A and B are shown apart, each in its own frame.
Chain A
């Protein structure tokens, strides 16, 4: 995490967004991750996504657990609050923060160890509650920060740097998310920004729990030959099932898509997702079909990516709880306290 601040130098021709902010305003501290680490590419895509969505940086709350991946919130949006919680428990903190104030953008960044090993329970329950947040798993198949042990997402037969072979089946966060009630389930690759960027935007605008499993190679401990989470392996077996275009509310759809392969999804704020299916029969609203497609592709060794499932209308935690739209801390104390007279009245039942 960073104690090295980047100098904020304005340069000529710098692009600004609707808020008059430049990309630099969306950056964070200098990364202390290994050069070439997949996590850093995701960070740069995030910076761009927030910038292009014209989101005020301080209206974002960044959360993470523990791990190399969990350090990344320090590397974007330096004027947003961040909280680096404990290993595997970020979903609970996000739930409480969200309960207290539902008017911020919540983004959680986790790792495969953080979400699928130690934190599998909280990850599952956050989806079950359909917590309103964007949740990224920067998935490298290992515990980077503790130096390369297999995580729960390590594939069968994959080899560790020191030669050990993984004999246990992986937990696929995408399949897990489909099973646990995730309302926005996607997979991407840190090496393909074109695909990742619209997914991040869509996830930020989705009302509910948007889970993106981002394959993000660990160059230090899991990028060798015989590793199934290396850049080379991922590139080779990478298989986009759905391509997503994100269209902000005010903009019209201008691209001409081939007839029949396109599904348009309108989000709650009016933005549109144009899902262009590589596989014509694929239906991103059909959970059972998504699961079966994943199983079949997996058998062929394909790594399926894209926005694989969306239910834009599932009730969120707040809808279920009928909780106030206003942040709870802003509700005047007078409205929270019933007052002395009510206390007297109430106690008649205890006499």
Chain B
């Protein structure tokens, strides 16, 4: 085997172009899962339309022995099943790559590229001969190309068989027909082509201790483990699966074994205004409550978010961001709600944001968010996105420390209220800007009247200039307390000259790009932000560097704007690298952008 070929083992990208609603999703996840089961790290991204049936959909599988978590930007093998997008799909293949298509029908002659090897397999023809019924034939055509790929890429058929048996469990007939379809494709490919291709898979042992999980499922688990009991929501892509998962987990773990009662309450609200209102009511009443949503939902929730900030009610919001503005592209990813969440609602407001970088961090962030919301008595946002929320990511197995106890914050219980001489809801007893609260119904002495209108430290209505200023200044003090309570940045490198600042789902692509620069002798430090507000460490990192690339996925450099607004740094040293196509950011984009900037620097 040549070096060139060896270098491609377990390191290539397959992209599958399908028609939405034809069952391709399960075939594609079977493909990805089999590679994962062979011990080889994989990344999978689903690019689906906002449609139930008929529009084009793509799935990208990156086989990555080095465990990268982002897209590379290349396509080595295109599985072009959708005739509608064939031209575009062919154009996207990297030079030297392959394209597999359904040769049951002749493809147009003009569609040719000299630098791409085309492989035709009569998928429909084979399946029509073998299976009965239109629906079965369509479904099996997808499974059949997995068989072809198994031959071309050397995927272990036993692994596929085991996966099918697990998936269909008791439905023996389905296991049988799926296996037939796999073998149909597998045998055809072995017969007609040189198998395997130069790039293919070889078993490794690099996925032990890992799982493939999406961020919404992980966040829902985080809510369960954090002890959240009230969830209110209104369906919206890409956040819906978070509440779906929470419901499933609650029915599994939260039904009281003695009484049969639900130790949770999930309410599908009439809209997002109501959903966040319900969260406020539950938070006021002492339950850990949350709502998952996306940009349009955040827009609707604004009035209540300000209410929560001003009246100081704990609440957790998951913003699984999608492309805006307006309805935007509901099934595409972006980090476009940073500004609208950081300063959500009218008046002077500031909100705590957490930036998970992958599903494992969604799990952790969920727990942190509830602790922070109750400690700080304020709404806290977990800023996920469609890429993290809906794609299965390979992450280290989620772990839990049974010693964890939730931080319910400063709450006076019945005995403490009984003992207390006086209780004033908004009195800053400890000087950290955080006051003591009491739950309704606990003790007459704990009673207070909560309002979103002007109030003094006793909780009484006021329109007094001084009392108003005292209140908002205390909220500012609380904000300063928050800076050191939120998770700090993750920093690597110490060149102290050039660096990258980023957050969330950009992380994998950034780290891969930095590693590539390192190999070329260019050192880049890296600060990954995990939360807003920014701590002193964040300020220091910026101060210590000459040039910083701020990588983010939106058009308007929202993260950079936040940094500038909050820290007032020398703005010239913050250079924006903006990716906002709606597809998850890839490593090549970052490399090219930084190279261009470096070249410009040399020229100048």
Contact = CB atoms under 8 A, between A and B. Distances in A.
Contact of B402 (A325, A328, A340, A351): A340
Contacts of A299: none
13 contacts: A81-B450, A84-B450, A84-B452, A89-B273, A92-B280, A95-B278, A96-B283, A97-B284, A122-B274, A129-B267, A325-B259, A336-B227, A344-B397
B253 A342 contact: yes
Contacts of B286: 100-101, 327-329
Contact of B400 (A79, A331, A343): A343
Given A2-B461, A99-B278, A328-B265, A81 B230 contact: no
Interface in A71-100: 73-74, 78-86, 89, 91-100
Nearest to B261: A324
A321 interface: yes
The range of chain A's interface size is 35 or more
Interface string B155-178: 000000000000000000000000
Given A3-B456, A97-B281, A321-B265, 14 more contacts: A1-B453, A3-B460, A3-B462, A58-B444, A78-B447, A81-B448, A84-B452, A91-B274, A92-B269, A92-B274, A95-B267, A328-B229, A343-B400, A351-B211
B256 interface: yes
Interface in B439-453: 439-453
A331 B263 contact: yes
B307 A97 contact: no
Nearest to B395: A350
B251 to A, nearest CB: 10
Given A81-B450, A350-B211, A100 B444 contact: no
Interface string A337-350: 11110111011001
Contacts of A94: 281
B277 A89 contact: yes
Contact of B280 (A91, A96, A125, A342): A96
Nearest to A84: B451
A171 B225 CA distance: 46
A15 to B, nearest CB: 20
A132 to B, nearest CB: 13
Interface of A: 1-3, 57-59, 61, 63, 73-74, 78-86, 89, 91-101, 103-104, 121-122, 124-125, 129, 317, 321-325, 327-329, 331, 333, 335-340, 342-344, 346-347, 350-351
Interface in B416-440: 438-440
B262 interface: yes
Given A101-B441, A103-B441, A82 B449 contact: yes
Could you say which of B259, B284, B402 has the most chain A C-beta atoms within 10 Å of its C-beta?
A: B284
Contacts of A58: 441-444, 446-447
B368 to A, nearest CB: 15
B282 interface: yes
A121 B274 CA distance: 9
B400 A339 contact: yes
A81 B441 contact: yes
A93 to B, nearest CB: 4
B386 interface: no
Contact of B281 (A3, A93, A338): A93
B212 interface: yes
B149 interface: no
Contact of B282 (A59, A100, A333): A100
B266 to A, nearest CB: 8
B121 interface: no
A99 B274 contact: no
Nearest to B227: A336
Contact of B265 (A89, A323, A347, A350): A323
B456 to A, nearest CB: 8
B506 interface: no
A73 B456 CA distance: 18
B281 A343 contact: no
Contacts of B441: 58-59, 61, 81, 101, 103-104, 327
Given A1-B453, A84-B453, A321-B262, A93 B280 contact: yes
Contacts of B278: 92-93, 95-96, 99
Nearest to B274: A92
A250 to B, nearest CB: 24
A96 B450 contact: no
Could you say which of A63, A81, A121, A339 has the most chain B C-beta atoms within 10 Å of its C-beta?
A: A81
A121 B270 contact: yes
A350 B213 contact: yes
Contacts of B211: 347, 350-351
A89 B254 CA distance: 30
A338 B225 contact: yes
B401 interface: yes
B264 interface: yes
B125 to A, nearest CB: 36
Contact of B285 (A96, A346, A347): A96
